[in-house]
Amino acid sequence: MSQLVLDVCCGPKMMWFDKHDRRAIFGDIRAQESLLCSDGRVVRICPDAEWDFRALPFADETFWHIVFDPPHLNRLGKTSWTAAKYGVLLPSWREDIAQGFSECFRVLKPNGTLIFKWSEDQIPVSDILALTPHDPLYGHRSGRASKTHWLAFIKEES
């Protein structure tokens, strides 16, 4: 079965019901296991392949559905459990996220969908949407403070 879904920065795959779903290929820039707390909780980042979402190793128009849930925090300690779990934005985050959107749309088939997840705990979603020329089709806020945005995009045919 060929994979129809691409998760470009899967992290610990927390949003997935099946963390080994055969319909998806999971990638991240890192593969690691970290002890989160003294109570023994461990976070495992086990992608199918390691890559940088700014330079995806796929041909144009490969996938029907892409999940893009990049790190969304730029102020975290080096040993923070949040950093271990979700990653940290680099100082070049604006260029990085813009390139990530560009790459996602490059490998997305026409009429394919991109689901983008962003928590605006430190950076407003409006600042992020300014980094792509694509307009979301619809979205939804979630979380205790409604700071997490789920946005759906569709790639229009050329």
Burial 87-117 (b: 16+ CB within 10 A, else e): bbbeeebeebbbbbbebbbebbbeebbbbbb
Instruction: Note the pLDDT of residue 10.
Output: 93
Residues in the chain with pLDDT < 70?
Answer: 1-2, 35-38
Residue 80 DSSP symbol = -
Distances (CA, A) of 63 to 92, 110, 130: 27, 9, 24
**In 10 A of CB 68, how many CB atoms?**
23
pLDDT of 38-64, one tens digit each?
Answer: 677 787 899 999 999 999 999 999 999
Overall pTM surpassing 0.75 (yes/no): yes
Distances (CA, A) of 85 to 4, 95, 135: 26, 22, 29
Instruction: Note the pLDDT of residue 80.
Output: 76
Report, at the CATH architecture level, how domain 5-154 is classified: 3-Layer(aba) Sandwich (3.40)
Instruction: Note the pLDDT of residue 1.
Output: 46
CB of 53 closer than 8 Å to CB of 9: yes
Separation between Cα atoms, residue 147 and residue 119, nearest integer Å: 5
Separation between Cα atoms, residue 33 and residue 124, nearest integer Å: 30
